Amino acid sequence: MTVVEEPTQARTGTYLYGVVAAGRLAAGVFDGARSVDGEHAVRLVPAGDVAAIVSDVPLSEFDEDVLPARLNDLAWLEDAARAHEEVLERALGQTGVVPFRFCTIYRSEDDLLRFVVERADDLCRVLDGVEGRIELGVKGLVARDVLEGALRSHVGAEESGPAEGSGRAYLLRRREDRRLAEESMRFLADCATAATARLERAAVAASLIPVRPPERDAAETMFLNAAYLVAAGDESLAREAEALAAEYEPFGIRFELTGPWPPYNFVPRDVLQP
């Protein structure tokens, strides 16, 4: 028996960016939007009370056997990731969005619709919770040398010790360095605790993201990475972050606000799972 397969190039899957409530997006909201494959148009597929934001993708690029290699291609990844995000941001400008994860792909639009319809109740519940709301990110960054310098001057100048160059002097210096390192860890822990408490009060909900490792040769290290759900247009979280930045500036600490984001960190994982 011979099975004649269509050439891979011709086959497409359906890529799911996110879900919105039915009837909320203006016609043309995705006109000119770049899709994850850069070719197929982004479109809205109604499914009862909700609508799915989708585009077709060639399985020659997005199927299981080729996707891993693509994902390790940084240029490809960046284009596709930014396209995913920008499509969702267009929707976010008009209504609440349940963002789906990067590369959520169905083999056909029917399969995708079956999933969305099965999940409609959960999706509607989440949409109610995020309607009129956006995610903001706050990153806490520290220049450790500045912090240690500030703490050193608070603690007082080092006492005059044994002659420079002696083993004893070396050990004393090592101990002082270690003490400063521990001191700055404690300071950062306190700072992170205080900052998150204050930021949380200015938000509907909060979620902590794992802190990222230091970049090579970066002057700053991240010590806090958090996401907040806030009402669109509410400036109080931004103001609180600004106040924190001003207070902690002398210690080499900076707070960076990012967003608005689709509420990636505020969609329960089980809603996205098959």
| Contact present, 111 and 226 (Cβ < 8 Å) | no
Q: Is 28 in the site for other proteins (CB under 8 A)?
A: no
Q: Is 242 in the site for other proteins (CB under 8 A)?
A: yes
Q: How many residues bind to other proteins according to rule CB under 8 A? A: 81
Q: Least Å distance between CB 2 and other proteins?
A: 26
Helical H segments across the chain, by residue range: 59-62, 67-71, 74-92, 109-118, 120-130, 144-155, 167-201, 236-248, 269-272
| Residue 82 host element (H or E) | helix 74-92
Separation CA 201–CA 196 (nearest Å): 9
Q: Is 197 in the site for other proteins (CB under 8 A)?
A: no
Q: Which residue number, 2 or 210, has a Cβ lying nearer to other proteins?
A: 210
Q: Which has the closest alpha carbon to 44: 35, 33, 55, 36?
A: 55
Alpha carbon distances (Å) from 12 to 9, 39, 59, 67, 105: 8, 12, 5, 14, 10
Q: Is 21 in the site for other proteins (CB under 8 A)?
A: no
Strand ranges in 79-124 using DSSP code E only, listed in sequence order: 98-99, 105-106
Which of 49, 131, 200, 256 is close enough to bind other proteins by CB under 8 A? 256
Q: Which has the closest alpha carbon to 45: 77, 14, 6?
A: 14
Separation CA 99–CA 265 (nearest Å): 9
Q: Least Å distance between CB 26 and other proteins?
A: 20
Q: Is 117 in the site for other proteins (CB under 8 A)?
A: no
| Residue 214 host element (H or E) | none
| Contact present, 228 and 205 (Cβ < 8 Å) | yes
Q: Is 254 in the site for other proteins (CB under 8 A)?
A: yes
CA dihedral 221, 224, 229, 231 (to 10 degrees): -70
Q: Is 249 in the site for other proteins (CB under 8 A)?
A: yes
Under rule CB under 8 A, which residues in 213-232 are in contact with other proteins?
A: 213-219, 221-225
Under rule CB under 8 A, which residues in 153-172 are in contact with other proteins?
A: 167-168, 171-172
Separation CA 139–CA 175 (nearest Å): 31
Q: Is 258 in the site for other proteins (CB under 8 A)?
A: yes
Under rule CB under 8 A, which residues in 35-74 are in contact with other proteins?
A: 62-64, 67-68, 71-72, 74
Q: Least Å distance between CB 74 and other proteins?
A: 6
Q: Is 188 in the site for other proteins (CB under 8 A)?
A: yes
Q: Is 8 in the site for other proteins (CB under 8 A)?
A: no
Supply 62's token pair.
Answer: 């997005």
Q: Which residue number, 23 or 197, has a Cβ lying nearer to other proteins?
A: 197
Q: Least Å distance between CB 132 and other proteins?
A: 19
Q: Per CB under 8 A, which region of 20-28, 38-46, 125-133, 238-246 contacts other proteins?
A: 238-246
Under rule CB under 8 A, which residues in 80-109 are in contact with other proteins?
A: 81-82, 84-85, 99-107
